[in-house]
Amino acid sequence: MALKTAKEYIDSLRQLKTRVYMFGEKIDNWVDHPMIRPSINCVAMTYALAQEPEYEDLMTATSSLTGHKINRFTHLHQSTEDLIKKVKMQRLLGQKTASCFQRCVGMDAFNAVFSSTYEIDQAHGTHYHENFKKFLTYVQDNDLTVDGAMTDPKGDRSKAPHQQADPDMYVHVVERRPDGIVVCGAKCHQTGSVNSHWHIFMPTISMGPEDKDWAVSFACPTDAEGLYMIYGRQSCDTRKMEQGCHIDVGNAKFGGQEALVVLDHVFIPNEYIFLNGETEFAGMIVERFAGYHRQSYGGCKVGVGDVVIGAAALAAEYNGVEKASAVKDKLIEMTHLNETLYSCGIACSCEGCPTKAGNYQIDLLLANVCKQNVTRFPYEIVRLAEDIAGGLMVTMPSQKDFESDLPVGREGETIGEICQKYFAGREGVSTEDRQRVMRFLENMCLGAAAVGYRTESMHGAGSPQAQRIMIARQGNIQGKKQLAKDIAGIKD
C-alpha cells in the first residue's frame, strides 16, 4: 500500500471501534468531536507533509525490511543521517502545528523494541525479534500510527510491581495460554493514544526476578476487546466546544492529546508478544526507548519554540515596542535557548552508533543532556514570551464581547465597538489581529498547547531526575578522574 494521505488516515480512524470516554460519557463519534479533532489534525499533518515533494527527503525513507518507500515515522534508523533527519522532521512538524503531532512515541518504541528483541532472542532462544519484524512490516506497508505505551500508574512508587497492593498498577500477565497471554493494567498520560491504529506496550522500569509477570511487551490494536480510553483534560479545553469562539481557542486547528489507556483482560496472540517474563531485559527496553524519546524533544519542542518566538515578536510589533532594546534582547535570548536545544538533539544524533540488531541508536548521554535542558529552557522561553506580550494575554474579554452589538455607551456604542476601541494597538494593525496573537500566546503558554510544550517538557520522556540518573551512569566520572591524575602526575 502507498503512503496514506491525510484524508485516508482520518477515514481509517472511522473504521475502528475504539472506545473513548470523556466527562463521564462514552463518545461515539470521537473523530469529529471538537475537543479531539484538533489532535487528529496534528497527526494528519505527518501524512500530509509526506505527500509533498518539498519535504519528501525528511518525511519519507526506504524500509530496511521491505525496500519500499515508507513514512519516516515507521522507519528503523539505519545511520546517523537518519537520526539527524528524524530531529529535523520533528522540528518541521512543530513549526507546522505548534503542537504535539503524536507519532514520535511509536517511532521511538519501534527502534527500542527492534534492537532489544534481537538481544533477548540471543540470550533466551525466543522468537520475539521475528514477531516484531513481521508486525513492523505490517505497520510500514499500511502506514499506521502506533502509540508507544510505557508509563504505568505505579501506585506506591516505593514498591516494586510485585509488591503493589493492587497488581494492576503495572501492566501484567494474568493468564498464559498456548496461543498467547491475557493482560490487565493501564498506561497513563498516553500521547496520541485515541488517534492510533495500534499500541506497543512496554515495561516502565527495570525489574527483578519476582516481577516476571510484569516484564511484558506486546502490540495490540487500539480497538481490541477489553481496551478502552479515558480522555485527559487540558487547560482551557472546553473553549473548543464553544460556538463562535475560534479566536478564544488560540490554536483552533491543531492540538495535543493524552489519555488513560485501560487493559481489562485483553488477549494478546503469541505473534504480537515481544517480551514475556525475561525480567533482565525490561530495563534495556526502558533505557533505549527513553534515549530515543529524549532525543525527540530536541526536535519537536524546538519547532514549537520557533512558533512561540514568532508569536512573541508579532505581539511586540502589534504593541508598538518591537524596536525597544529590551524586547530585542528577550527575543535573542529565546532564540539562543531554542537553538541550544536543537544543538543537543543534533549532537546526540551525530554521535549515534549501530546496535547489535543493525539499527542506529543515539548517544545516550547526550540524549539525556538534551532532555535535561528541555526541562528548563521552554519554561524560560514561555516566561519571556509572556513578558513581551503583556497582561492582555490573560485579561482580554471574550470573542463574543468583541463581536457583540449590544448598546452600552452614551452615544450608542456597542460592547463590540468599545472592545475594538480600547484594545487597539499600533496604527495599521487591526484589533482582531492583536486579539488573535494574544489568544494564541495564551494557548501556547498557559492553555491546551502548554500541556504539549511547557509541562510536557518537564515530564514527558521522564522527569528531570530520570535524566540525571542516566547522566550519572553515562558520565564516566572515573575516566575523567583518571584524565586529571595523568596530567597531574598522580600514581594509583
Choosing from 18, 231, 258, 370, which is the catalytic residue? 258
Reply yes or no on whether 355 is catalytic: no
Residue 41 identity: N
3-state SS track over the chain: CCCCCHHHHHHHHHCCCCCEEECCEECCCHHHCCCCHHHHHHHHHHHHHHHCHHHHHHHEEECCCCCCEEEHHHCCCCCHHHHHHHHHHHHHHHHHHCCCCCCHHHHHHHHHHHHHHHHHHHHHCCCHHHHHHHHHHHHHHHCCCEEEECCCCCCCCCCCHHHCCCHHHCCEEEEEECCEEEEEEEEEEEECCCCCCEEEECCCCCCCHHHHHHCEEEEEECCCCCEEEEECCCCCHHHHHCCCCHHHHCCCCCCCCEEEEEEEEEEEEHHHEEEECCHHHHHHHHHHHHHHHHHHCCCHHHHHHHHHHHHHHHHHHHHCCCCCHHHHHHHHHHHHHHHHHHHHHHHHHHCCEECCCCCEECCHHHHHHHHHHHCCHHHHHHHHHHHHHCCHHHHCCCHHHHCCCCECCCCCCEHHHHHHHHCCCCCCCCHHHHHHHHHHHHHHHCCHHHHHHHHHHHHCCCCHHHHHHHHHHHCCHHHHHHHHHHHHCCCC
207 burial class (0-12, 13-18, 19+ CB within 10 angstroms)? buried
∠28-33-36 over CA atoms, to 5°?
110
> CA-CA distance, 433 to 442, in Å (whole number)?
14
Q: Which residue in 97, 117, 191, 204 is the catalytic one? A: 191
Look up 297 and say whether it is catalytic.
yes
Which one from 300, 344, 348, 370 is the annotated catalytic residue? 300
Closest CA to 254 of 79, 107, 447: 447
- 360 assigned to active site: no
Catalytic residue among 104, 220, 348, 419: 104
Q: Name the catalytic one among 292, 297, 342, 453.
A: 297
231 is catalytic: no
Residue from 77, 293, 442, 445 carrying the catalytic annotation:
293
Strands 20-22 and 227-231: parallel
In the residue annotation, 104 being an active-site residue is answered as: yes
How far apart (Å, rounded) are the C-alpha atoms in residues 38 and 32?
9
Task: Kindly name the residue from 278, 386, 442, 456 that is annotated as catalytic.
Answer: 456
Q: Is 300 a catalytic residue?
A: yes
CA angle 95, 101, 104 (to 5 degrees): 110
Residues forming the active site: 100, 104, 191, 258, 293, 297, 300, 456
